[in-house]
Amino acid sequence: MTIISTRFPAPPGSVTRVLDMLAILRRGDPGEIEEAGIAYDVPRPWIPATCPADLREDVWGWCDDVAAWINHEYAWRPAQMIPPCWPHHAHIARELAVLAFLRWTAEASTGPEAVEDWHRYTFPMFCDRMTGRLGESKCRTGEHVQWPAESRYHSYIAAMANDDRQRAFHADTHRPNAPTPILAGRRG
């Protein structure tokens, strides 16, 4: 028997528990929020950096399942595939988490419109951004390439470049003869 389409991977229980808490917060009923004992600083798992390590680990595992599902269900040409080195590309990892949650919520919808929006807008735009940012790198063919812009990033955060930016900010926000503060290579 040939299966035409497979189900979207469900998020792990830890993630659905957080989503349930966020749904309560979204409803905004103070009594329900208090009864559930929910703080307002609940992690947003579609932004993994807001999650504690154990939840983040579950989110990344789910994102890996989602990437495999997308690669099986949607990638016809190799260049369209999410590369196996996606965790080494922050721009893909961040967007993959959002893509996964948008698909999950679209599938939970009671009508087809959210899934259609995911197909029409969300997923193609994710693919366009991913392939555009990866460019012609070998990551698209399964051979990870270290960050090509790394040296330029380090030049940007270097003390001399930062001091120069701080002087420009100071010149823009102070009168012409105001003394320039001593710069320590960073904002503070």
Q: Say what the pLDDT of residue 188 is.
A: 46
Which among 121, 117, 125, 108 is positioned nearest to 11, based on CA atoms?
A: 108
From the first residue on, what is the mean pLDDT of each consecutive set of 10 residues in the chain (188 residues)? 90 96 92 88 95 97 97 86 93 96 96 97 95 83 79 85 85 81 58
Spatial neighbors of 89 by CB under 8 A, at least 6 apart, are 83, 133, 134, 139
Q: Say what the pLDDT of residue 20 is.
A: 94
- Look up the pTM and report it: 0.82
Q: Say what the pLDDT of residue 67 is.
A: 97
Buried/exposed code over 106-139 (b: 16+ C-beta within 10 A; e: otherwise): beeeeeeebbeebeeebbeebbeebeeebeebeb
Q: How far apart are CA 153 and CA 111, in angstroms?
A: 45
Asked if 25 and 42 touch (Cβ cutoff 8 Å), the reply is yes
Q: Is 186 left (phi over 0), alpha (psi -120 to 50) or beta?
A: beta
Asked if 63 and 6 touch (Cβ cutoff 8 Å), the reply is no
Q: How far apart are CA 51 and CA 48, in angstroms?
A: 5
Separation of first and last alpha carbons in the chain: 64
Task: Give residue 92's Cα distance to chain centre.
Answer: 7
DSSP annotation of 112 = S
Measured in residues, the chain has a length of: 188
Joined together, the tokens standing for residue 130 give 């991913």
Helices (H), the chain: 13-27, 30-36, 53-73, 90-108, 113-117, 123-134, 150-157, 159-173
